Structures are given as C-alpha cells and as structure tokens.
Amino acid sequence: MRQLAVVDNQTRFNVDDLEALPAGIFRVDPEGYLRSGNKTWWAICGASEDSALGALWYSGTHPLDTYAVEQCFEASVGSLQDIALETRFVSPAGKVVFAKIHLVPELDKLERLSGFIGAAFDISTLVQSQDQLLDILNSLSDVVLLVGETGRILRVNPAVSSMLAYQPHELLGEHCGLLVVPDQRARLNSVLLGLLKGSVKPADVGILNFSGQIKSGLTIDLEMRIDKSGLYREAPGFIVVLRDVSERKRREMYLNEAEKMSALVQVTRGVSHEFTNLLSTMMGNLELLARGLPRADVENFVEPSLQAGERGRELVQHLLSFNRQRPLNEAVIVAADFIQNQIESQMFSATAVELEIEPAADNARIRVDPAYLAEALQHLVENAAEARANGGIDTVLVHLELSWVELKAGMKLPGYSTGEIRESEVGSYLRISVSDNGPGMDSLVLERCFDPFFSTREGQMGLGLSSLVGFIQQCDGFVSIDSPGPGAEAPWSTSVHLYLPGLTDAEVS
C-alpha cells in the first residue's frame, strides 16, 4: 500500500493507521482520479484497489447520480470549497451502497490545488430506516408535518391531500398556521414559541383542538399533537400530527340528540295517552249534554267546545307521529301521479308550485299513508309561504322534484339530516325535494330545525318539522334539509328532502 498523506494542523498519518477507521478515507488528484484509499473506502465504492486506482473517484456511482456528483466536484475544483453530498455506489455485482461523502481540497506550499482528501460513510442502514419510516408516514391517514423552528413546513405526508385538499409540495415553506382558521393562528404560534423557548413543556400541551381550514376555505374539526422533533438536518423543529375528528364529533352530536329525543319521546308518549283519555271523557259528556240543551245553547257553547276537542285530538295525532306511534293507513301509490293530483286539486292554492320528475322516478311506487303524505307536503309548502312573508319576498316559488337515489352504508345525506345510512337501510329510495326561494336558514336555525316546539316565528311553538320527521321515520325513511344561508347565491334558498323506500315489482305484488 502506498503512503497516503492527510494534512491536518501540520500532522501526517500513515495509511496503515487509517485501516481500522469506520470511515472510508481516500485521496484524489486535482482532476478527480483516485490515488489511494483504505479498505473501508473500497468496500463502500464497490471496487477493488487494483481496478479502481487511476479511475475517477465517482465512476462507480449510480448512473442517475453520476452527473450531479460530477458537477458538484467540478464546482469545488473551481472554488476550492469543501464538498458534502450523498450518493449511491453500485458494485459490479449490483450491490447498492448509500454513502455520505465529504471532500476537502488539499493545497501545496504555493497554495495551489494538489488534490482532495475524502471521507466516505456508509449510511445504507440509515437510509433504509428512513425509507421504512417514510413508508409508515405515507400510509397514515393522519397528517404528519415536520415543522422548522419558525413554523415553516419542511415535510408533509400525502394524507394532507385527502384531509385538507393540498398537494404536499404546495405546503413546503408555508407556515403551518395556514392549516387552521385565521383567528386561531396566534394561539398555535404561542404554543410553538413556548415549546421552543422551554416555557411550555410537551406534557402540558397534550391534545389541542383546532378548527382546520382546507384549501377551499371550508372548516373541519382537528385534533393536534405537537412534539419537539430534536434535529432535522441539524435544525430544531417540531413534529405536528393532525387528525380529522369531524365525523366523530358529528356522531357524538347525533348520540346526544338521540338521548335527548328518547327522553322527550317517553314524556310525550305518556302525555298523549293521558290527554286522549281526558278528551274522550270531555267530548263524550259534551255530546250527552248537547242532547238536552236548546239549539242556540248548543251552537254557542257546546259546539265550540267540541271543536276545541277535535283540535286537541289532532294535537294528539301529531304527538303520536312524533313518537312514531301514529296509526297509519298505508297504501301503495305512484308518487308522481299522487303529487300531480294534489297540485291539480289546488291543495297548494296559496302558492305557485312547479313539479319536476326525473325519468327514473316517473313510475316510482312507495308505501305510505296518502293522507299523511299530503299533509306533510302541504305543511312544507305553507312553511315556504310564511317564510316569504317574513323575508319580505313578493312572490314565493316552490319547486317539487322527484328523483330516484341509491343510498349506501355510511352515506351522508346533503345538508343537515336526521342521521347517516346504516347497513340495514341500504337500498333504492324515492327522494321528494321541496325547495323554495324564501330567505333561507342560518346555521343556528338549521341545527335546531328538527327540535320539537322550535320555531323562528314569534308566538308559534308547534311540533313543526319534528312531527314530519316522525312520520317519515315511521315509513322507514329519512329527512334532510339543505340551506346555503341568507344571502347565498344558490338556485333555491332552502330544500327539504324526504327519502322514502322505493318498492320493487315483487314487493308490490
């Protein structure tokens, strides 16, 4: 082995002293041709000493890396600057070694370039570990961000595309606050700064709740974990993990609503039966009393009381409908013909109603109580007419549309709905959509529209839409409401969708 001179603070080493080092040490002339190297170097570059001496030191690099390494080396020759790079060496047998290379220019006494002294480190194991880690990160449904100390995003996994609609490259260099709503960005910055300075401990941060902002501007519910990442390319930073919990919160809301409704159902069920008994006794006695009174007294006193009793019976029917205990006189009807007859018979005479029927729904048959369906549709049309008066709209338009839809498990109905589709509810449904051009509903009204006794009209506290929901659910159907909100540009301000199970020929026969 020829002598290899390594100059460092005027100290010279014999190459034999370098054989035991874990690093590959090599020396090249100013043009890059190999002069010598230790055993570790030959193992890393994948060539034997006899075959590689006199060849370019990067001649064994991967074909895809060779040009970039060559350009980097030539730049160092001209600038006399150190080289630090990562590349791949491929042996004649095809073995690939990932290496980190550091080359230092060597100058003679006249400060002219006499060559380079290099050190090479085998980082194959590290690269494989990084690749495995990246595979794991890329498979996660949570968004994982590597964030620098200034809050800028250094790396992000592909899950950001499905969760927040950004492509990973769009976020590189952007501040991570871009992913939360503007009024919560100061809070996020405060947490990052506290962790960086040490005034906030990671254990004190725990799980943070933020409103995330996707690329389109819509918001989702996020859980965020933030940990100090140690070093990333020798720079301090953070690992930020984002999880979309919108669906979980939605289900929690449905569960709370279900518990609240269950308690209310128990109360109204008892009230309905007790009230029915009281009405039966009262109206029976009134009818007996009417037989013995003069006609004038019957007309002035008894008949108004009987009429009030009939209104009480109607209220009981609404309560039973809300409880899904209202007796139904079901029949199979062709929905399009039924609704067309309702329009032609001027059932909705207070308002102009246009009917649109998709071809697939033209002969759709459903099993419902026709009288209650007519009542439900009339109630929706009347709601639209009253909304017109309250919204200052001169002419109210109501659009009735019939369409045939397939509902799948887990599907979310448009807008605010009474729940999501379960496996047992999958199938074909007739959707009856009642839309109007009224003032629409804001988000607060939309969230409470199914509550019993809730009304936006002063002095009115009827069962409202909750009774309609009870009837549709009694028919094994669903209700959803879609309203972009006041002032939004949309064909219709409010649409109520009734989903009723469609019947096959076998079910009809």
Question: Which residue shows structure tokens 């569960």?
Answer: 255
- DSSP 8-state class, residue 384: H
* Exposure string over 343-363, b if 16+ CB within 10 A, otherwise e: beeebbebeebeeebeeebee
CB 365 within 8 A of CB 339: no
pLDDT value at residue 390: 57
pLDDT value at residue 6: 40
- The closest of 76, 20, 18, 125 to 57, measured between CA atoms, is 76
CB 438 within 8 A of CB 460: no
Superfamily of the domain at 15-123: PAS domain (3.30.450.20)
- HSE, side-chain direction, 13 A CA sphere, residue 221: 10
pLDDT value at residue 149: 84
Tens of pLDDT along the chain (509 residues) come to: 333 334 443 344 455 566 667 889 999 999 999 999 998 999 999 998 888 899 999 999 999 999 999 999 999 998 999 989 999 999 888 899 999 999 999 998 888 899 999 999 999 988 888 778 778 878 888 999 988 888 899 889 999 999 999 999 999 999 999 999 999 999 999 998 888 888 888 777 888 999 998 888 888 999 999 887 654 444 568 889 999 998 888 777 767 766 766 666 666 666 666 777 777 788 888 888 888 888 888 888 888 888 887 777 666 666 655 555 556 678 889 988 888 887 777 666 555 677 788 888 888 899 888 888 888 888 787 777 676 555 555 566 778 889 888 888 878 787 666 666 877 788 899 999 888 877 777 777 777 777 655 666 554 444 467 777 777 888 888 888 888 765 556 667 788 889 999 887 777 76
pLDDT value at residue 362: 83
Q: Report how far residue 352's alpha carbon sits from residue 290's, in angstroms, rounded to the nearest whole number.
A: 43
Q: How many residues does the chain have?
A: 509
First CA to last CA across the chain, in angstroms?
98
* Contacts of 356 by beta carbon, 8 Å cutoff, 6+ apart: 399, 400, 401, 402
In terms of Cβ atoms closer than 10 Å to its own Cβ (0-12, 13-18, 19+), residue 182 is exposed
CB 37 within 8 A of CB 2: no
CATH, domain range 140-244: 3.30.450.20
Q: Selecting from 3.60.20.10, 3.30.70.100, 3.40.50.300, 3.30.565.10, what CATH number does the domain 331-508 have?
A: 3.30.565.10
pLDDT value at residue 11: 40
pLDDT value at residue 504: 78
CB 165 within 8 A of CB 214: yes
In terms of Cβ atoms closer than 10 Å to its own Cβ (0-12, 13-18, 19+), residue 170 is middle
* Contacts of 161 by beta carbon, 8 Å cutoff, 6+ apart: 167, 168
Q: Report how far residue 466's alpha carbon sits from residue 453's, in angstroms, rounded to the nearest whole number.
A: 8
Residue 280 phi/psi, 5-degree rounding, is -60, -45
- HSE, side-chain direction, 13 A CA sphere, residue 433: 22
Angle, alpha carbons 248-252-258 (nearest 5°): 145
CB 122 within 8 A of CB 97: yes
CB 207 within 8 A of CB 243: no
* Contacts of 31 by beta carbon, 8 Å cutoff, 6+ apart: none
In terms of Cβ atoms closer than 10 Å to its own Cβ (0-12, 13-18, 19+), residue 427 is middle
